[in-house]
Structure 1
Amino acid sequence: MKVTFIGGARTVTGSKTLLESNGYRILIDCGQFQGVKALRELNWEPLPILPSTIDCVLLTHGHLDHCGWLPRLVSQGFDGKIYCTSPTKDIAKLILLDSAKIQEEEAQKANEGKYSKHEVAEPLYDVAQAERVFPLFTVVKENKKVALEAEISAVFSNAGHILGASSISLHAEGKTLVFSGDIGREDDVLMFPPKKPIEADYVFLESTYGNRIHPEEDVKSLLEKYISTTISGGGNVVIPSFAVERAQTLMYLLWQLKEEGRLPHVPYIIDTPMGISVLEVFQRNQSWHKLPLKDCIEMSKMFDKITDYQETIEAIYDKRPKVIIAASGMVTGGRVLSYLERYIGLSQTLVILVGYQAEGTRGRQLLEGASDIKMRGKYFPVHAKIVEIEGLSAHGDQEDLVHWLSDLKKAPQKVFIVHGENEPAKALQEQIEARYSYECIIPVIGQTFEI
Structure 2
Amino acid sequence: MKIKFLGGAGTVTGSKTLIESNGVRILIDCGQFQGIKPLRELNWEPLPILPSTIDYVLLTHGHLDHCGWLPRLVNQGFEGKIYCTSPTAAIAKLILLDSAKIQEEEAERANKEHFSKHEKAEPLYNVDQAEKVFPLFRVVKQNDEVTLDAEISARFFNAGHIIGACSIALKLENKTLVFSGDIGRDDDVLMYAPVKPKKADYIFLESTYGNRIHPIEDVKLLLETYINNTFHNNGTIIIPSFAVERAQTIMYLLWQLKKENRIPDIPYIIDTPMGISVLDIFMNNKKWHKLSEEECVQMCRMFTMNSDYQETIATIYDKQSKVVIAASGMITGGRVLSYLERYISLPETTVIIVGYQAEGTRGRKLLEGATDIKIYGKYYQVLAKIQEIEGLSAHGDQKDLINWLSELENKPEKVFLVHGENQPADELRIKIQEKFGFDCCVPLIGQEFEL
Q: In which range does the TM-score fall when normalised by the shorter chain?
A: over 0.9
Identify the residue that residue 412 of structure 1 maps to in structure 2: 412
Partner amino acid for 2:115?
A: Y
Matched, 1:286 2:286: yes
Cα offset, 1:352, TM superposition: 0.1
Counterpart CA distance in 1 for 2:256 and 2:243 is 19
Residues 150-181 of structure 1 show CA distances to partners (whole Å, capped at 9, x for unaligned) of 11000000000000000000000000000000
Residues 1-57 of structure 1 show CA distances to partners (whole Å, capped at 9, x for unaligned) of 010000000100000000000000000000000000000000000000000000010
Counterpart CA distance in 2 for 1:407 and 1:95 is 34
Counterpart CA distance in 1 for 2:154 and 2:18 is 15
Partner amino acid for 2:84?
A: C
Identify the residue that residue 203 of structure 2 maps to in structure 1: 203
Partner amino acid for 1:359?
A: E
Matched, 1:74 2:68: no
Matched, 1:442 2:411: no
Partner amino acid for 1:322?
A: K
Partner amino acid for 1:129?
A: Q
Partner amino acid for 1:416?
A: F
Identify the residue that residue 50 of structure 1 maps to in structure 2: 50
Matched, 1:168 2:161: no
Counterpart CA distance in 2 for 1:160 and 1:266 is 32
Cα offset, 1:292, TM superposition: 1.1
Counterpart CA distance in 2 for 1:422 and 1:371 is 27
Counterpart CA distance in 2 for 1:360 and 1:421 is 12
Counterpart CA distance in 2 for 1:21 and 1:150 is 11
Identify the residue that residue 106 of structure 1 maps to in structure 2: 106
Identify the residue that residue 91 of structure 1 maps to in structure 2: 91
Identify the residue that residue 219 of structure 1 maps to in structure 2: 219
Partner amino acid for 1:365?
A: K
Counterpart CA distance in 1 for 2:430 and 2:384 is 38
Identify the residue that residue 373 of structure 1 maps to in structure 2: 373
- Report SS of the residue matched to 2:43: helix
Counterpart CA distance in 1 for 2:157 and 2:410 is 20
Partner amino acid for 1:274?
A: M
Identify the residue that residue 11 of structure 1 maps to in structure 2: 11
Q: How does 1:345-360 map to 2 (within 5 A)?
A: 345-360=345-360
Counterpart CA distance in 2 for 1:102 and 1:231 is 31
Q: How does 1:390-405 map to 2 (within 5 A)?
A: 390-405=390-405
Percent identical pairs in the alignment equals 72
- Report SS of the residue matched to 1:20: strand
Residues 263-293 of structure 1 show CA distances to partners (whole Å, capped at 9, x for unaligned) of 1011000000000000000000000000111
- Report SS of the residue matched to 1:287: helix
Counterpart CA distance in 2 for 1:304 and 1:120 is 38
Alignment RMSD: 0.3
List alignment gaps of at least 5 residues for structure 1. Answer: none
Cα offset, 1:82, TM superposition: 0.1
Residues 124-143 of structure 1 show CA distances to partners (whole Å, capped at 9, x for unaligned) of 00000000000000000100
Counterpart CA distance in 2 for 1:71 and 1:216 is 40
Residues 364-389 of structure 1 show CA distances to partners (whole Å, capped at 9, x for unaligned) of 00000000000000000000000100
Matched, 1:250 2:269: no
- Report SS of the residue matched to 2:93: helix
- Report SS of the residue matched to 2:314: helix
Counterpart CA distance in 1 for 2:391 and 2:423 is 21
Counterpart CA distance in 1 for 2:147 and 2:26 is 13
Cα offset, 1:184, TM superposition: 0.2
Number of matched pairs? 451
Counterpart CA distance in 1 for 2:76 and 2:263 is 51
Cα offset, 1:410, TM superposition: 1.1
- Report SS of the residue matched to 1:266: coil
Partner amino acid for 1:56?
A: Y
Identify the residue that residue 268 of structure 1 maps to in structure 2: 268
Identify the residue that residue 37 of structure 1 maps to in structure 2: 37
Residues 408-444 of structure 1 show CA distances to partners (whole Å, capped at 9, x for unaligned) of 0011000000000011101100110010000000000
Counterpart CA distance in 1 for 2:423 and 2:47 is 27
Counterpart CA distance in 1 for 2:291 and 2:378 is 41
- Report SS of the residue matched to 2:153: strand
Q: List structure 1 runs of 4+ shifted beyond 6 angstroms.
A: none
Partner amino acid for 1:103?
A: Q
Counterpart CA distance in 1 for 2:77 and 2:256 is 48
- Report SS of the residue matched to 2:387: strand
Partner amino acid for 1:4?
A: K
Counterpart CA distance in 1 for 2:410 and 2:57 is 28
Cα offset, 1:100, TM superposition: 0.3
Counterpart CA distance in 2 for 1:385 and 1:193 is 33
Output the TM-score relative to the length of structure 1: 1.00
Cα offset, 1:218, TM superposition: 0.5
Partner amino acid for 1:197?
A: P
Identify the residue that residue 324 of structure 1 maps to in structure 2: 324
